[in-house]
């Protein structure tokens, strides 16, 4: 017996409007005889032009009222934001026993445990494929495709805005500020770009992926996050001269007693697939004990890809899919403690701007030697017109504590023009 699923959509921005347009054009897109009908919507501005039909749809100024409405069977939240109307509406829908599909990575990263508890107590799906990597099925891969696998490491590019900025800085030889302005004109970056360029958007996403991969409750507090605001064109040029490309890398690695979850600009070898993912693309490596290394790449944002991911979640609801919100039941999710930083090690890139004086390089080498940090490669650029010399080096693997000790002593050198720039070499 066929059924028509009445869908309510809260949030009619680019993704919400595209989803409504798609469902109106293809109400029978899901396999089987069931159909989908958008019956109600909610947004802040009723008069705004949109590429979908709103005639005949119930309009709700309050998304919470839409979520509770007896006129819908499934609630789609595309408002965004960890708190406020988005969270209240999702809680209301779950409490009313309605399935929820969302693209809200901030809400899932901050409140995933509580939302999973409620969804599973009410025995209704809470799906969020569109929250990470847009239309590229990273969530489904970890929650379903790798169920039972011992996933050890995740690493990738999870923010298209930052990837576009870094790629365009290298391609066009322009500064961060110039390329950021272009990204804002093109719609890749918001008027306030802090969430993207500060690394927080990627932080939300890697917190979700780590929870799915390792059986943890999402815990943004255990993530170490830094953005790309301080990356200069000189860093990009010097990294390229050494055979690397700078990317904002989001990573999660399971370690004894916890996990290292981190977002930071890092150096990737030029020949590596992550270095080849340019523009606004997203990409992800997953390493498991039995499956080895898997690689996903695709559009991480945009109306079409993100709406497609939401539609796929709707199809799962219609098909009667029942599984935990994360990879294991909510009451079995473990806390996600940060791993002991004393055990962490890796290679780093150190860029120095120094006055052209005798003995500077010897002093830098001495500081590194005292901290037991060995140099792997070294590059000195010509002296500029002000008498300043750019020096860049990469290290052999060393503990983070030893690198911090060495950099602290280097920072005290009189010849230094600005604080040292330290970037990790990506562990991929």
Question: Mind listing the pLDDT tens digit for each residue in 280-300?
Answer: 889 999 999 999 999 999 987
Q: What is the pLDDT of residue 323?
A: 87
The two three-digit tokens of residue 221, written as one number: 């507090």
Residues belonging to the active site: 205
Residues in a beta bridge with 379? 392
Going through 196-257 in order, the beta strands assigned E by DSSP cover: 223-225, 244-255
Asked if the model's pLDDT at residue 422 lies above 70, the reply is yes
Q: Could you tell me if 253 and 148 are in contact, meaning their C-beta atoms sit under 8 angstroms apart?
A: no
The closest alpha carbon to 94, from 106, 108, 80, 81, belongs to 108
257 burial class (0-12, 13-18, 19+ CB within 10 angstroms)?
A: exposed
Asked if the model's pLDDT at residue 2 lies above 80, the reply is no
3-state SS assignment for residue 264: strand
Q: What is the pLDDT of residue 353?
A: 92
Average pLDDT of 3-16? 93
CA–CA dist 360, 380 (Å, integer): 12
Going through 274-374 in order, the beta strands assigned E by DSSP cover: 281-288, 292-299, 345-346, 348-355
What band does 341 get if pLDDT is binned at 50, 70 and 90? low
Asked if the model's pLDDT at residue 1 lies above 70, the reply is no
Domains of the chain: 4-98 (3.40.50.720), 138-300+334-339 (3.30.360.10), 344-424 (3.30.70.260)
Which residues does 217 contact at the CB level (< 8 Å), separation at least 6? Answer: 112, 113, 116, 211, 326, 333, 334, 335, 336
336 burial class (0-12, 13-18, 19+ CB within 10 angstroms)?
A: buried
What's the mean per-residue pLDDT of the chain? Answer: 91
Between 248 and 341, residue with greater pLDDT: 248
**Poorest-confidence range of 79-93, 346-360, 363-377, 380-394?**
380-394
| CB neighbourhood size of 338 (10 A) | 17
Asked if the model's pLDDT at residue 343 lies above 70, the reply is no
CA–CA dist 4, 75 (Å, integer): 14
Instruction: Return left, alpha or beta for 398; rule: phi > 0 is left, psi -120 to 50 is alpha, else beta.
Output: beta
Instruction: Please give the C-alpha separations between residue 103 and each of 287, 313, 396, in angstroms, as whole numbers.
Output: 25, 10, 41
Average pLDDT of 329-349? 80
Strand 375-380 relative to strand 388-395, pairing: antiparallel
Average pLDDT of 142-157? 92
Q: 87-127: per-residue pLDDT in tens?
A: 999 999 999 999 999 999 999 999 999 999 999 999 999 99
Which pTM was predicted? Answer: 0.92
What band does 191 get if pLDDT is binned at 50, 70 and 90? confident
DSSP state of 405: H
Helices (H) and strands (E) counted in the chain, each on its own, are 14, 18
The closest alpha carbon to 196, from 130, 236, 250, 233, belongs to 250
Q: 269-280: per-residue pLDDT in tens?
A: 999 999 999 888
Asked if the model's pLDDT at residue 144 lies above 70, the reply is yes
What band does 340 get if pLDDT is binned at 50, 70 and 90? low
Q: 40-58: per-residue pLDDT in tens?
A: 999 988 878 888 888 889 9
Angle at 377 between CA 376 and CA 381, to 5 degrees: 155
Q: What is the pLDDT of residue 240?
A: 94
What band does 327 get if pLDDT is binned at 50, 70 and 90? confident
Asked if the model's pLDDT at residue 73 lies above 90, the reply is yes
Is the Cα torsion angle 310, 311, 312, 316 positive or negative in sign?
positive
CA–CA dist 399, 347 (Å, integer): 9
């Amino acid at each position: 017996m066929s059924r028509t699923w009445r869908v309510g959509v809260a949030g009619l921005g680019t993704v919400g409007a595209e989803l409504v347009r798609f469902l109106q054009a293809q109400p029978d897109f899901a396999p089987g005889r069931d159909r989908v009908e958008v019956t109600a919507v909610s947004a802040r501005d009723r008069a705004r032009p949109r590429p979908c039909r709103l005639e005949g749809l119930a309009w709700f100024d309050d998304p919470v009222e839409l979520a509770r409405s007896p006129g819908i069977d499934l609630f789609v939240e595309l408002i965004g934001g960890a708190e406020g109307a988005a969270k209240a509406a999702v809680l209301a829908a779950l409490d009313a026993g309605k399935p929820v599909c969302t693209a809200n990575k901030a809400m899932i990263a901050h409140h995933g445990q509580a939302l999973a508890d409620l969804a599973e107590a009410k025995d209704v799906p809470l799906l969020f494929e569109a929250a990470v990597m847009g239309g590229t099925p990273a969530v489904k891969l970890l929650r379903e495709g790798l169920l039972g696998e011992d996933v050890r490491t995740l690493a990738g590019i999870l923010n298209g805005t930052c990837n576009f900025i870094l790629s365009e800085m290298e391609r066009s030889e322009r500064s961060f500020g110039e390329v950021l302005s272009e990204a804002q004109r093109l719609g890749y970056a918001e008027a306030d770009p802090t969430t993207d360029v500060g690394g927080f958007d990627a932080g939300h996403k890697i917190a979700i992926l780590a929870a799915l991969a390792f059986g943890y409750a999402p815990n943004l507090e255990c993530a170490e996050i830094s953005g790309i605001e301080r990356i200069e064109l000189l860093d990009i040029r010097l990294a390229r001269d050494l055979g690397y490309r700078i990317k904002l890398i989001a990573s999660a690695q399971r370690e004894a007693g916890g996990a290292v979850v981190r977002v930071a600009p890092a150096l990737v070898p030029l020949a590596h697939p992550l270095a080849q993912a340019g523009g606004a693309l997203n990409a992800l490596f997953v390493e498991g004990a039995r499956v080895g290394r898997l690689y996903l790449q695709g559009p991480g944002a945009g109306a079409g890809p993100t709406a497609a991911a939401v539609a796929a979640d709707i199809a799962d609801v219609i098909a009667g899919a029942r599984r935990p919100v994360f990879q294991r039941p909510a009451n079995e999710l473990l806390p996600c403690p940060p791993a002991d930083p004393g055990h962490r090690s890796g290679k780093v890139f150190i860029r120095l701007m120094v006055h052209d004086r005798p003995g500077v390089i010897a002093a830098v080498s001495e500081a590194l030697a005292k901290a037991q940090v060995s140099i792997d490669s070294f590059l000195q650029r010509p002296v500029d017109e002000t008498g300043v010399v750019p020096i860049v080096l990469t290290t052999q693997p060393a503990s983070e504590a030893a690198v911090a000790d060495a950099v602290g002593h280097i920072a005290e050198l009189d010849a230094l023009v600005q604080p040292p720039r330290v970037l990790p070499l990506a562990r991929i």
